[in-house]
């Protein structure tokens, strides 16, 4: 996060420039003395020359930023000033021996740190965030993941104000000091890269439990929180225990240290961080109680806790050689947490949610200025590459291995990966090779998934030949257009699951032309060329095709087919994902047509076929209620916007509102009956069936009944709001009220504020709910909320709840044609950039799609982007995003 000055244009670094470091650091001894005005960090490093790269006498260049060097000694001898040089980014020692000990003392100022990287304060407590390149803000170091060392950390601080002092590994000694101070020493026996270092100090209390590992060791589990939150930790603890057990059962992976600590902090740039033995979490992904957190919050907490825990093997034990390999640990760990959540909840439901997220956000990233391969080729600011592409598309690419090798083959490959690379810093290629070796199969065709940006598009044509009784699938692949210049697209290996159905909904036995007998009713086809044909034989009548079942590869599908086929699949497909998807595709097609009609001033009419299919879903009593809720949800405006150019925000909004109203009116009786059926009068429970019930009835209420705006519905909403004994129902009711211009709206907001103003995570919801309202007055409301006393630029959660919710999730109101929201965002980004560049750079991404809008909006956004880029002293974070956007 170096500041861009007018003289220096930030330069990218390239993957192909990787070389090993000239020196290795084997051992780190840190002593961190926390004082109000300044923190003193003493470090003793055991360093040796890397014989493979460095010639003798090569200078030692250590990273360091925002450090004040106080002392420096080599092998115990203070260094004269002529022996080294310090600049804004580095400490250079001109000449060093082959083996030596380097001692430094630096001063840092965590209380002035608003960037929330390195050592900083949150609610008066100290914590750290070192990934990717922020350990260098704590001490001078070779701050790169291929330098792995063991750490011993001694922390000292005022005893009353910082009774709890934590770092990685095991607590090995403690002691008292003068002036009411105390110290604690931690030792982490596992070698690790500096980005996994962590330190926490403060007034914290601990909710603890244990876990007995498969080899019989007892691990102490500790969730550390501020005292007022001690009653919100049980779910996090249970989630951790489940994750530990799942990883043993699924992959035979056991935890290695004797203690596992999680600390919840209020001010955190990201979700959470997997520091060895001492995870630091955004409190949003730890704290919950039924009255403060929704069912979705509970599920997110379980998933993030698991994600960070799984990193202990995929990330920590085996780490990344360089940051270009980030997807090696993130894609793999997201894949693992997705499977975990599927096992804890419902496979189809989880798959649908993940694919929805991928298609809405990652496909958009792929089609915008930030398009990059899951293993990027270059970056200016690494923090900008913690993206949905690296994470979620990365997870889809890992899933390709599972699809090709089967679950068992995948597990074998993973075992081989650990056997070969435990304790090492490796690359994505190493992962692929381990998978291939274990299964004795050539996986080099998968390489293009790592090296190419953009979403492959499969164009599909199915042709039935009644005479020959054959069904021929013709599939081509290309790439969806990207604005950023990309090298020519090379075909990928795309595994495609397919089935064919007869008119009764029976899956047909599938026999390819070169086979003697049918092999199953679902086939995995491998598309590896630009164009391929697959011929199925002995097909007695024209079938209905179910293509890319379970979303077997992260691609877009283009296929002309009669609406009747989609309606048929909605009713009959035995792949739950595709069954849901058929409904989405049909709804999407109709919504896009309606949007065109609206824009042309034509009368809007909804296809009766869709109304009928929707009715079948509503009344299908075999369908799991959560899945039913998913199937009822219409594609969102942002997703629809991606399918057209230019994006007509008003037309999409009107089309979707129209469809919602027609469905709500047509099925008013059925919807009310569903609501009543699933609206529980018994007290809150967090059983699966209770969660499913809440999901369905709240979808019915929020996404359909509310559109009717009649008294009966308003009364239902009011009752639910007043009587809810859990946050899921309360938030759902309040979000219904956000869509209604009635007195109850403001009353409810006030009541909610009065009750929850002292709980930051719940207050975030209060901001977010108002920001997500589709009422025309929302822009003004957001502008005024930005000067609300509880709005605070220094708290990332609060910023995201108001600003991100509005600018990124509320398409129709953010893109108001007067450009006021654009101006608001640009000003806010500039203000925030001085405090927290990482967060500012995330927010400015709300402009990334600007070229896809109509001329008026395009110009308005472009001029805001130009204003931003013209700013002197812009951070490299924001500079990189905006310059890519304007290029």
The footprint of Zn ion on residues 305-334 (CB under 5 A) is 330, 333
Cβ 237 vs Cβ 253: under 8 Å:
no
* Shortest CB 659 distance to ligand ARG, Å: 37
Q: How far is CA 6 from the centre of its chain?
A: 34
First to last CA, the chain: 21
138 binds ligand ARG (CB under 6 A): no
Per-residue HEC secondary structure of 421-448 comes to HCCCEECHHHHHHHHHHHHCCCCHHHHH
Per-residue DSSP letter, 647:
B
383 binds ligand ARG (CB under 6 A): yes
Instruction: Please pick, from the candidates 223, 270, 320, 724, the single residue that binds ligand ARG as defined by CB under 6 A.
Output: 270
Q: How far apart are CA 189 and CA 169, in angstroms?
A: 7
- What b/e string do you get for 422-460 counting C-beta neighbours within 10 Å, with b at 16 or more? eeebbbbebbbbbbbbbbeeebeebbbbbebbbbbbbeb
Q: Pick from Zn ion, ligand ARG, none: which does 627 bind, CB < 5 to 8 A by kind?
A: none
User: Taking CB under 6 A as the rule, does residue 131 contact ligand ARG?
Assistant: yes
Residue showing the smallest CB distance to ligand ARG in the complex: 386
Coil vs helix vs strand at 192: strand
Residue 273 contact, options Zn ion, ligand ARG, none, Cβ 5-8 Å cut-off depending on partner type: ligand ARG
Number of amino acids touching ligand ARG (CB under 6 A): 11
Do the Cβ atoms of 291 and 725 come closer than 8 Å? Answer: yes
Minimal distance, residue 315 CB to ligand ARG, in Å: 7
- Which residues are tagged catalytic? 308
Q: Between 520 and 549, how does the x/- string for binding to ligand ARG read (CB under 6 A)?
A: ------------------------------
* Residue of 264, 522, 486 whose CA lies nearest to 377: 486
Q: Return the one option of Zn ion, ligand ARG, none that residue 714 interacts with (CB less than 5 to 8 A, by type).
A: none
Residue closer to Zn ion, measured from CB, 239 or 333: 333
CB nearer to ligand ARG: pick between 128 and 772: 128
CA separation for the pair 611, 567 (Å, rounded): 10
CB of 106 to ligand ARG, least distance (A): 22
Name which of 313 and 675 has its Cβ closer to ligand ARG: 313
Nearest to ligand ARG of 315, 369 (CB atom): 315
Q: Which is nearer to Zn ion, 295 or 302 (CB)?
A: 302
- Please tell me whether residue 388 binds ligand ARG under the rule CB under 6 A: no
User: In whole angstroms, what is the distance from residue 498 CA to residue 480 CA?
Assistant: 22
Q: Which does 449 bind (CB under 5 to 8 A by kind): Zn ion, ligand ARG, none?
A: none
- Residue closer to ligand ARG by CB (options 271, 518) is 271
Give the phi and the psi of residue 383 in degrees, each rounded to 5: -60, -20
Q: How far is the CB of 195 from Zn ion (least distance, A)?
A: 12
Q: How far is the CB of 280 from ligand ARG (least distance, A)?
A: 10
Residue 131 interacts with, from Zn ion, ligand ARG, none (CB under 5-8 Å by kind): ligand ARG
Phi, psi of 91 (to 5 degrees): -120, 120
274 binds ligand ARG (CB under 6 A): yes
Q: Is 273 in the site for ligand ARG (CB under 6 A)?
A: yes
| Element at 134 (helix H, strand E) | none
Assess contact for 518 and 510: CB atoms under 8 A: yes
Residues 849-868 as x/- pattern, contact with Zn ion by CB under 5 A: --------------------
The vertex-653 CA angle with 651 and 659, nearest 5°, equals 100
Asked if residues 877 and 383 have their Cβ atoms less than 8 Å apart, the reply is: yes
Question: How far apart are alpha carbons 98 and 84 in whole angstroms?
Answer: 17
Site string for ligand ARG, 826-865 (x = CB under 6 A): ----------------------------------------
Rounded to the nearest whole angstrom, what is the least distance from the CB of residue 306 to ligand ARG in the complex? 11
Site mask for ligand ARG (CB under 6 A), range 312-331, x = bound: ------------------x-
Using the minimum distance from each CB to ligand ARG, give the nearer residue, 324 or 853: 324
Token pair in block for residue 749: 């907001």
Q: How far is the CB of 125 from ligand ARG (least distance, A)?
A: 19
310 vs 431, beta carbon nearer ligand ARG: 310
Looking at beta carbons only, is 134 or 333 nearer to Zn ion? 333
Between 143 and 274, whose beta carbon lies closer to ligand ARG? Answer: 274
| Binding region for ligand ARG (CB under 6 A) out of 222-230, 269-277, 595-603, 777-785 | 269-277
Axis crossing angle, helix 295-311 with helix 688-703, rounded to the nearest 10:
120
- In the complex with Zn ion, which residue's Cβ is closer, 333 or 556? 333
Residue 406, phi-psi category: left (phi > 0), alpha (psi -120 to 50), beta (remainder)? left
Q: Which helix (H) or strand (E) holds 6?
A: none
What is the rounded CA–CA span in Å between residue 870 and residue 860? 16
Report yes or no: 515 and 484 within 8 Å, Cβ to Cβ. no
Residues 286, 199: Cα–Cα separation, whole Å: 18
Question: Per-residue string for binding with ligand ARG, 337-376, x by CB under 6 A?
Answer: ----------------------------------------
- Closer residue to Zn ion (CB): 32 or 132: 132
Stretch of 161-169, 182-190, 245-253, 270-278 lying at the interface with ligand ARG (CB under 6 A): 270-278
Position of tokens 């007998």?
517
Closest CA to 404 of 582, 559, 537, 528: 528
Determine if 272 is a binding residue for ligand ARG (CB under 6 A). yes
One DSSP character per residue, 308-343 reads: HHHHTTBTTTBEESSGGGHHHHHHHHHHHHHHHHHH
Binding partner selected for residue 108 from Zn ion, ligand ARG, none, CB under the kind-specific 5 to 8 Å limit? none
Pairing of strands 23-34, 39-49: antiparallel
Q: CB 511: neighbour CB atoms within 10 A?
A: 18
By a kind-dependent CB cut-off of 5 to 8 A, residue 270 interacts, out of ligand ARG, Zn ion, none, with ligand ARG
DSSP 693-734: HHHHHHHHHHHTGGGG--HHHHHHHHHHHHH-SSHHHHHHHH
The reply on whether position 878 binds ligand ARG by CB under 6 A is no
Which of the choices ligand ARG, Zn ion, none does residue 383 contact, using the CB cut-off of 5 to 8 A by kind?
A: ligand ARG
Contact of residue 272 among Zn ion, ligand ARG, none (CB under 5-8 Å per partner type)? ligand ARG
The partner residues of 221 in beta bridges, in order of sequence, read 209, 260
Interacting span for ligand ARG (CB under 6 A) from 255-263, 265-273, 409-417, 460-468: 265-273
Helix (H, G, I), strand (E, B) or coil at 164: strand
Among 33, 115, 226, 308, binds ligand ARG (CB under 6 A): 308
User: Of the candidates 140, 386, 577, 822, which one interacts with ligand ARG according to CB under 6 A?
Assistant: 386
Cβ neighbors of 114 (< 8 A, separation 6 or more) are 120, 794, 835, 836
Please provide the DSSP assignment of 28-92 as one string: EEEEEEE-SS-EEEEEEEEEEE-TTTPPTTPPEEEE-SS-EEEEEEETTEEPPGGGEEE-SSEEE
Which range in 236-244, 266-274, 348-356, 801-809 contacts ligand ARG by CB under 6 A?
A: 266-274
Contact of residue 132 among ligand ARG, Zn ion, none (CB under 5-8 Å per partner type): ligand ARG
CB of 878 to Zn ion, least distance (A): 24
Q: Where does this chain bind Zn ion (CB under 5 A)?
A: 330, 333
Q: Where does this chain bind ligand ARG (CB under 6 A)?
A: 131-132, 270, 272-274, 307-308, 330, 383, 386
């Amino acid at each position: 996060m170096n500041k861009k000055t007018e003289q220096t244009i930030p330069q990218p670094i390239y993957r192909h420039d990787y070389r090993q470091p000239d020196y290795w650091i084997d051992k780190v001894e840190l002593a961190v003395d926390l004082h109000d005005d300044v923190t003193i960090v003493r470090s003793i490093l055991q360093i040796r020359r890397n014989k493979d790269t460095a010639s003798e006498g090569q200078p030692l260049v250590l990273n360091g930023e925002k450090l004040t060097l106080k002392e420096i000694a080599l092998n115990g001898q203070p260094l004269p000033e002529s022996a080294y040089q310090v600049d804004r980014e580095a400490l250079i020692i001109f000449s060093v021996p082959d083996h030596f000990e380097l001692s430094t003392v630096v001063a840092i100022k965590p209380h002035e740190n608003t960037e929330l990287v390195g050592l900083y304060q949150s609610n008066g407590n100290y914590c750290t965030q070192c990934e990717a390149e922020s350990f260098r803000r704590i001490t001078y170091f070779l701050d790169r993941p291929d330098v792995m060392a063991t750490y011993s950390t001694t922390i000292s601080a005022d005893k009353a104000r910082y009774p709890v002092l934590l770092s990685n590994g095991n607590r090995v000694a403690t002691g008292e000091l003068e002036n009411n101070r105390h110290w604690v020493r931690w030792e982490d026996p596992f070698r690790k890269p500096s980005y996994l270092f962590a330190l926490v100090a403060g007034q914290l209390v601990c909710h603890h439990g244990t876990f007995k590992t498969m080899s019989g060791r007892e691990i102490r589990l500790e969730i550390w929180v501020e005292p007022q939150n001690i009653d919100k930790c049980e779910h996090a603890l249970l989630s951790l225990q489940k994750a530990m057990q799942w990883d043993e059962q699924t992959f035979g992976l056991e935890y290695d240290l004797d203690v596992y600590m999680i600390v919840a902090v209020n001010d955190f740039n990201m979700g959470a961080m997997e520091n060895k033995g001492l995870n630091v979490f955004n409190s949003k992904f730890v704290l919950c109680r039924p009255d403060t957190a929704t069912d979705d919050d509970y599920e997110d907490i379980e998933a993030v806790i698991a994600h960070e825990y799984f990193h202990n093997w995929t990330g920590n034990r085996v780490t990344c050689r360089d940051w270009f390999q980030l997807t090696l640990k993130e894609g793999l760990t997201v894949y693992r947490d997705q499977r975990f959540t599927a096992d804890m909840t419902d496979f189809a439901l989880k798959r649908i949610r993940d694919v929805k997220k991928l298609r809405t956000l990652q496909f958009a990233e792929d089609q915008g200025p930030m398009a990059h391969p899951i293993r990027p080729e270059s970056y200016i600011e690494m923090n900008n590459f913690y993206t949905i592409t690296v994470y979620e598309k990365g997870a889809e690419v890992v899933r390709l291995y599972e699809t090709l090798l089967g679950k068992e083959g995948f597990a074998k490959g993973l075992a081989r990966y650990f056997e070969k690379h435990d304790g090492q810093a490796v690359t994505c290629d190493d992962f692929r090779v381990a998978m291939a070796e274990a299964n004795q199969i050539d996986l080099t065709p998968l390489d293009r998934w790592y090296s190419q940006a953009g979403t492959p598009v499969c164009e599909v044509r199915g042709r039935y030949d009644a005479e020959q009784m054959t069904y021929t699938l013709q599939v081509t692949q290309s790439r969806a257009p990207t604005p950023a210049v990309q090298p020519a697209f090379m075909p990928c290996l795309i595994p495609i699951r397919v089935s064919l159905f007869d008119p009764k909904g029976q899956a047909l036995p599938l026999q390819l032309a070169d086979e003697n007998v049918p092999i199953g009713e679902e086939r995995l086809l491998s598309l590896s060329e630009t164009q391929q044909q697959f011929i199925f034989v002995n097909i007695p009548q024209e079938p209905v095709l179910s293509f890319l079942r379970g979303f077997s590869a992260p691609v877009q599908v283009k296929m002309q087919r009669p609406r009747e086929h989609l309606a048929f699949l909605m009713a009959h497909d035995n792949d739950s994902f595709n069954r849901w998807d058929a409904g989405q595709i049909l709804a999407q097609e109709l919504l896009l047509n309606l949007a065109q009609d609206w824009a042309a001033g034509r009368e809007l009419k909804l296809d009766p076929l869709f109304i009928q299919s929707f009715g079948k879903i509503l009344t299908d009593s075999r369908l799991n209620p959560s899945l039913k809720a998913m199937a009822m949800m219409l594609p969102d405006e942002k997703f629809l916007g991606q399918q057209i150019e230019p994006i007509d925000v008003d037309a999409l909004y009107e089309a979707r509102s129209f469809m919602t109203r027609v469905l709500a009116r047509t099925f008013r009786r059925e919807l009310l009956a569903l609501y009543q059926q699933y609206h529980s009068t018994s007290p809150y429970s967090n059983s699966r069936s209770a969660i499913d019930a809440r999901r369905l009835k709240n979808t019915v209420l929020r996404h359909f009944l509310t559109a009717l705006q009649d008294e009966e519905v308003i009364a239902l909403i009011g009752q639910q709001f007043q009587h809810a004994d859990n946050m899921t129902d309360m938030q759902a009711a309040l979000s219904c009220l956000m869509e209604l211009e009635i007195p109850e709206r403001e009353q409810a907001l006030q009541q909610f504020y009065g009750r929850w103003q002292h709980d930051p995570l719940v207050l975030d919801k209060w901001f977010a709910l108002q920001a997500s309202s589709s009422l025309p007055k929302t822009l003004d409301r957001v502008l005024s909320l930005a000067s609300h006393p509880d709005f605070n630029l220094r708290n990332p959660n609060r910023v995201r709840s108001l600003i991100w919710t509005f600018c990124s999730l509320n398409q129709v109101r953010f893109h108001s044609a007067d450009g006021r929201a654009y101006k608001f965002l640009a000003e806010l980004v500039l203000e925030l950039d001085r405090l927290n560049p990482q967060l500012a750079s995330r927010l400015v991404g709300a402009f990334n799609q600007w070229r896809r809008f109509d001329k008026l909006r395009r110009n308005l956004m472009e001029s805001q982007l130009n204003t931003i880029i013209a700013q002197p002293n812009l951070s490299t974070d924001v500079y990189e995003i905006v310059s890519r956007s304007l290029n």
